[in-house]
A and B are shown apart, each in its own frame.
Chain A
Amino acid sequence: MKRVLPGFGLSLGFTLVYLSLLILLPLSGLVFKASTLSFEQFWSIATGERALAAYRVTFGASLLAALINAFFGLVVAWVLVRYPFPGKRFVDSLVDLPFALPTSVAGITLATLYAGNGWIGRHLEPLGLKVAFTPLGIVVALTFISLPFVVRTLQPVIEDIEPEIEEAAASLGASRFQTFFRVLLPGIFPALLTGFTLAFSRAIGEYGSVIFIAGNMPLISEITPLLIISKLEQYDVVGATALACVMLAISFVLLLAVNALQWWSANRHQSRRTGA
């Protein structure tokens, strides 16, 4: 078949080479290195007590942070799109700050604020809430660094909703509540899922900000990336790659699942297309 757009072969070749060099090659190197272990050795490292606790902290805190952002990010995006207010552009650019700020700076700042003698920690501690140097601190740090993903994904989608849609719902007798849950939310749900996925994967990979606020106590507030680093520091390269392989596999499966969900929710309204 003759194509109208030229350059398909060349650009596809380039894309594949680029992806291979940047992503596939390092990842396969990782798997290759880990494969020097026997299965029993691999299994005992991957399911060690400290490793399991680290997975739990990493994925649990990331999931919690992504969920928090899915909710508050939606609110922030909604307000930024829908309502004019003084200083809106300033607030809008604030959202991008976690993108640009070195994560270690974020980590140190948060740790200082939430420490027992910090500005915020000072008031939380008497209430029995310890944030810094606990798993809760990890959630705070991950929420901070992954917020822009949700907001920036949702903004264009919310901008696309015509005000007429809401007016139509109102003229048909729907309350604000019904309008939001039956009309608006289903429309932005695929984008919300995308934002959630991005925030979640960003949080899983986060290292810099977390190590400052987490306290890094083995079995309690140690994240997997930190465990990998500490193994490397003890020259246990193979052990580190084994953990990395587990992270890789879990992340891949999770992302695949969320992507499938997202594909389903975006396509279920066009699936029965019969060429009208």
Chain B
Amino acid sequence: MSIEIQNIGKRFGNFVALDNINLTIPTGELVALLGPSGCGKTTLLRIIAGMESADEGVVKFGGEEATHLHARDRQVGFVFQHYALFRHMSVFENVAFGLRVKPKHERPSEAEIRRRVLDLLKLVQLDWLADRYPSQLSGGQRQRIALARALAVEPKVLLLDEPFGALDTKVRKELRRWLRRLHDEMHISSVFVTHDQEEALEVADRVVVMNHGKVEQIGTPDEVYSNPASPFVYQFLGNVNVFHSRVHGAWANVGADSAEGVPPKGKEALAFVRPHDIDIEHTPVAGGIEATVQDVHAIGPMVRVELAHASELIEVELTRERANVLQLAKGQCVWLKPRQVKVFSVPEVPLEEGGSGI
């Protein structure tokens, strides 16, 4: 079922949590709401679920107005960051809960409940845990049970609030791929909230980048990563080097053909370059800037080099092969050449540090 969000606004006292949000999620799509903590993404998700009411605006499910519908009548499945399983019920009873509380004339028979619950437990590959209690499960298992419980009522929409936030890295990676497969099998619309850009880029069909209660950009993972609409999106989706206008002046020679959207001459501007879009050379290159190697770290498959240019610190990521060829040492003088630069006008509000939130 499609979800339409029109002009949604929400305040908590003086704090604007959501400001005029418009978003359409077509049936069958998996959408990520991505942003730093406090950007309003969870509030938006809770408004879709009916657990929070918006101050203004309209929520529509499948074209029908649902703004004032109670959470229990919305037919949404909701998965919480901390699972929210019922502690005193076995895994089986947790999943069966949604079926058991249905009004008598809609409630399936005991045999039918049993069949459906076991099917769902098989789907999440945990049918062997049916008799256990939540306290006996690991975090990853609990979250899969929570998902099975949400799916038991055959929701039209699946909403997930930082579903993998409390899990360790390895389990997270496994579970998000598994969620993707599950979503494709279930043919429902799913929305999940995350502050982890890698998670959003890997799993979602579309990413909605949010900041300060506003939508910064909506697009496919590739669009938002390689063609960010704003400095915030650029900084939030991965590491980036920001060069202020005085440095940009030094790069003006090379910038002309590789930089996009160059603002009018003379205006202050910021140039954004991803660390893996910079080459390091030992010899002077046309348009390159001179820098001194400060530090070299080998991190897994790549090598991160920190360099100093005037007072700026520049980060460059190289492949291991390239680093082996270059043989960089601390204090060495090298030349940098960016492969891809994006230039934005200086925003009125100062940029915050991009990052991963909590």
Question: CB-CB contacts of B83-114 with A at 8 A, as 1s and 0s?
Answer: 01111110000000110111000000000000
B71 & A171 in contact (Cβ 8 Å cutoff): yes
Are A171 and B101 in contact, with the CB atoms below 8 A?
Answer: no
Q: How far is the CB of B79 from chain A (nearest CB, A)?
A: 9
Residues of A within 8 A of B71 (CB): 167, 170-171
Partner of B136, one of A169, A182, A187, A273: A273
Pick from A172, A274, A276: contact of B149, CB under 8 Å: A172
| B86 x A183 contact (CB < 8 A) | yes
Closest chain B residue, CB of each to CB of A178:
B101
Contact A272 B131 (CB under 8 A): yes
- Within the complex, the shortest CB–CB distance from A174 to chain B, in Å, comes to 4
| Residue of A170, A172, A183, A187 ringed by the most chain B CB atoms within 10 A | A172
Complex: A186 Cα to B86 Cα, angstroms: 10
Instruction: Count residues on chain B whose CB falls below 8 Å from chain A CBs.
Output: 37
| B82→A170 contact, CB < 8 A | no
A-B contact count (CB 8 A): 82
Contact between A269 and B87 (Cβ–Cβ < 8 Å)?
yes
Q: Is A248 an interface residue (CB 8 A)?
A: no
A270 CB–B CB distance under 8 Å: yes
Asked whether A269 lies within 8 Å of B97 as measured between CB atoms, the reply is no
**What A residues does B102 contact at CB under 8 A?**
173
User: Chain A nearest CB: distance from B242 CB in Å?
Assistant: 39
A107 to chain B, nearest CB (A): 40
Cβ of A171 and Cβ of B135 under 8 Å apart? no
For residue B251, CB closer than 8 A to chain A, the reply is no
Given A162-B82, A172-B153: A167 and B51 within 8 A (CB)?
yes
CB pair A167–B87 under 8 Å, yes or no, is no
**A168, CB-defined interface residue at 8 Å:** yes
> Closest Cβ of chain B: how far from A266's Cβ, in Å?
10
A171 and B133: CB pair below 8 A?
A: no
- What is B's interface to A at a CB cutoff of 8 Å? 49-51, 70-74, 76-78, 80, 82, 84-89, 97-98, 100-102, 129, 131-133, 135-138, 146, 149-150, 152-153
- Give A contacts to B, CB under 8 Å: 162, 164-165, 167-175, 178, 182-183, 186-187, 269-270, 272-274, 276
23 cross-chain CB contacts under 8 A: A162-B84, A164-B80, A164-B82, A167-B71, A168-B80, A168-B85, A168-B86, A170-B51, A171-B49, A171-B72, A171-B74, A172-B72, A173-B73, A173-B101, A173-B102, A174-B101, A182-B100, A182-B101, A183-B86, A186-B88, A187-B88, A276-B136, A276-B137
